[in-house]
Amino acid sequence: MAQPIPIHKHSPLKASCHQCSLSNLCLPLAIEENELDRLEDIVQQGRIFNRGEHIFDQSTPFRSCFAVKSGSVKTSIITESGEEQVTGFFMPGELVGLDSMSSSTYACTAKALERTSVCEFPVEKLEDLTGKLPELQHHMYHLMSQEIQNGHQLAMLLSKNTAEERIAALLLSLSSRFQRRRLSPTNFSLPMARNDIANFLGLAVETVSRVFTRFQNQGLIRARGREVELLDVEALQLVTRDSARQGC
């Protein structure tokens, strides 16, 4: 019997960091061209997940970090009682799993929000490599530190800002992340449901919905379902700084 060609699992198209369009965002960013092979030696490319599939969950033994190659990923913590707290959204070029480097199983659950492909970096090998490439080590510290800062930023949003401010901030964050990938910063499609936005921002779905329509009525955005157009970026930025204006 002829084996069907195993598209994803066993054709690990080695050596494509070199030609990956995300090499200026992802880990290769920190590596000299001539050292890139060493990263390619440890990466497992091309794993694909359909919308809704888990890349890992809190019971999976922690082995690897994952770089999003295409699609998008939602991470969340599920409490004993089944409650979910969305902790982040990850877009192409971003690294998922850094929060788990202190645990034996993953610290969160990662789910593909759409058809998503990821590159897998086994941490043991990654740590070996960062021990040899100071630039890469530095970059890892950089990424982790940024993730800590993101957390603080989120905490700030949650504890001090109104629903409108939180949503404006999220839209602008997404916008700038699309822009980094040279996609339109004003015209994009949200990878996540209203529910996920609500959960992430500590709001009720209904509130998210209402704020979207309010923004729409004020001419700040145009939104139909997940399609969003930012009509007035400056005004949105003003919204996020409203808490600032209180002081004046």
Query: Contact residues for DNA (CB under 7 A)?
Result: 162-164, 193-195, 202-210, 212-213, 223-226
Pair 92, 68: CB distance under 8 Å: yes
Which of residues 34, 104, 159, 217 is near a copy of itself by CB under 8 A?
A: 159
Using CA atoms, how far residue 6 sits from 3, 46, 69, 85, 120, in Å, is 8, 12, 20, 36, 18
Q: Which two tokens stand for residue 31?
A: 């590596």
Which of residues 10, 182, 224, 245 is near a copy of itself by CB under 8 A?
A: 245
Which of residues 18, 21, 50, 141 is near a copy of itself by CB under 8 A?
A: 141
Judged by beta carbon distances under 5 to 8 A according to partner kind, the member of DNA, a copy of itself, none in contact with residue 105 is: none
* 217 part of the interface to a copy of itself, by CB under 8 A: no
Which of residues 21, 24, 50, 103 is near a copy of itself by CB under 8 A?
A: 103
Which of residues 116, 130, 175, 207 is near a copy of itself by CB under 8 A?
A: 130
Type of residue at 88: G
Q: How far apart are CA 121 and CA 62, in angstroms?
A: 11
Q: Smallest gap, in angstroms, from Cβ of residue 69 to DNA?
A: 21
Q: How far apart are CA 167 and CA 158, in angstroms?
A: 11
The residue range among 17-25, 145-153, 169-177, 187-195 that interacts with a copy of itself, by the rule CB under 8 A, is 145-153
Which of residues 150, 189, 195, 213 is near a copy of itself by CB under 8 A?
A: 150
Q: Which residues contact 229 (CB under 8 A, 6 or more apart)?
A: 186, 187, 221, 222, 223
Which of residues 19, 59, 217, 246 is near a copy of itself by CB under 8 A?
A: 246
* Nearest Cα to Cα of residue 44 among 128, 138, 126, 139: 126
Q: Kind and range of the H or E element at 45?
A: strand 44-49
Which of residues 3, 19, 59, 79 is near a copy of itself by CB under 8 A?
A: 79
Q: How far apart are CA 38 and CA 130, in angstroms?
A: 11
* 234 part of the interface to a copy of itself, by CB under 8 A: no
Q: Smallest gap, in angstroms, from Cβ of residue 55 to a copy of itself?
A: 17
φ/ψ of residue 153, rounded to 5: -60, -45
* Nearest Cα to Cα of residue 136 among 65, 63, 69: 65
Site for a copy of itself, rule CB under 8 A: 77, 79-83, 85, 87, 98-103, 107-108, 127-128, 130-132, 134, 137-138, 140-152, 154-156, 158-160, 199, 201-202, 241, 243-248
